[in-house]
Amino acid sequence: MTSLLAFTILVGLVALERVAEMIVSRRNAAWSFARGGIESGQRHFPVMVALHTVFLAGMLVEAWWRRPDVPASLAWTMLVVVIGCQVGRWWCIWALGPHWNTRVIVVPGTPPVRRGPYRVLSHPNYVVVVVEGIALPMVHDAWITAVVFTVLNAALLTERLRVEKAALRTLPAAQSTG
């Protein structure tokens, strides 16, 4: 199997993982809304979905268009980082339990989540997204996608964090959501 085909399969597997995330997210959002959850940041959410969708497609287009000669050491190192990101992402989802979703929804009166990676970082999932945004395309040396996504994602995360911090300030005690 060629490395380009293997990369295409990897991106497809990541896309399937995103579908699993969306299923969990919808279930958890319904849980939050049933308990009086309040959503913020609806305007930036479609932009986030579009950016992450274009990210997956973009790295495939770049890899198939450029067809770079990828050093095995780069591919394998970045693959290990990508796998670590998936583990980190699902650790965040587990730690937040029903509070985790892809939107900014806070449930008034719920206690802060301080387990798992949230004992150490306020937003470990965003760290995972940033690292994966570089590592996944670099598995096949799709550096243009890595750079463009990183810049656009930084702007998006700036807005996301602003919205999230404002939403969390409405709670008696700050609750980690992402």
Would 71 be classed as within a structural domain?
yes
Give domain status of residue 175, yes or no: no
Residue 151 maps to a domain:
yes
**CA 132, 137, 140 angle in degrees (round to 5)?**
135
In the predicted structure, residue 174 carries a pLDDT above the cut 70? no
* pLDDT, tens only, 40-92: 999 999 999 999 999 999 999 999 999 999 999 999 999 999 999 999 999 99
- Tell me if 161 is assigned to some domain: yes
Q: Does any domain span residue 66?
A: yes
User: Tokens 């306020």 appear where?
Assistant: 122
* Residue 95 included in any domain: yes
Q: Say what the pTM is.
A: 0.91
Q: Name the band, by pLDDT with cuts 50, 70 and 90, for residue 171.
A: confident
For position 31, which CATH number holds? 1.20.120.1630
**Number of domains making up the chain:** 1
**Of residues 108, 96, 83, the one with CA closest to residue 169:** 108
Per residue in 81-100, pLDDT (tens digit) is: 999 999 999 999 999 999 99
Residue 178 located in a structural domain: no
Structural domain for 77, as ranges: 3-168
